[in-house]
Amino acid sequence: MSQSRVLGIDPGLATVGYAVLELTTTNSYQMLEAGVISTPPEDDIPTRLKHIYDESCELVQEFEPKALAIEKLFFKKNVTTGINVAQARGVVLLSASELEVHEYTPLEIKRRVAGSGKAQKIQVQAMIQRLLGLKQIPKPDDAADAVAVALCYFLEQRTPLAQIRTLAKDAK
């Protein structure tokens, strides 16, 4: 298990965005991989969830992250879609049950990565590109969102409160 590696997840039933980032120096990050897990809409939900679970387990086994950073659910109107996303999120959490889990709302991710909870998607993507020194913004958007979630984890670790928590945990 890498002490400086995180798996970022943007959950969904049709498409799960994922990204694996690694802290290389105090304030330098490297994107090891970013992509999506896609499920065919014609498959039944249990089959789709099994596919997401299997692929998530493979990511955890291959990259051996220390932590999982995952977006918290937020939905206003379509409860059915929210339930399906919640189920997909649940199987991802199950696949990472041995890892530290850190959950972030969309507002927290935008604020931490772009400096404002009201940042537009393109502003967050531009900051991802800049902070990671990427030539291009990761595609598709689900993968870029997962990169932002993973990056949020590392940026949160730099805050004084997070550092105090780490010291307290290490002292035990």
DSSP three-state, residue 13: coil
Q: Give me the catalytic one of 22, 55, 142, 145.
A: 142
Q: Where are the beta strands (DSSP E) in the chain?
A: 5-10, 15-25, 28-38, 67-71, 100-104
Q: Which of 22, 55, 71, 145 is catalytic?
A: 71
Of the candidates 6, 15, 21, 31, the residue with the CA atom closest to the CA atom of residue 96: 6
Indicate if 10 belongs to the active site: yes
Q: Quote the tokens at residue 110.
A: 């935008």
Cβ atoms of residues 69 and 149 within 8 Å = yes
Q: How far apart are CA 78 and CA 76, in angstroms?
A: 7
Catalytic one of 10, 22, 55, 145: 10
Q: H or E element: which one contains 89?
A: helix 79-95
C-alpha closest to that of 146 among 11, 24, 53: 11
d(CA 152, CA 6): 10
Active site residue 54: no
Residues with active-site annotation: 10, 71, 142
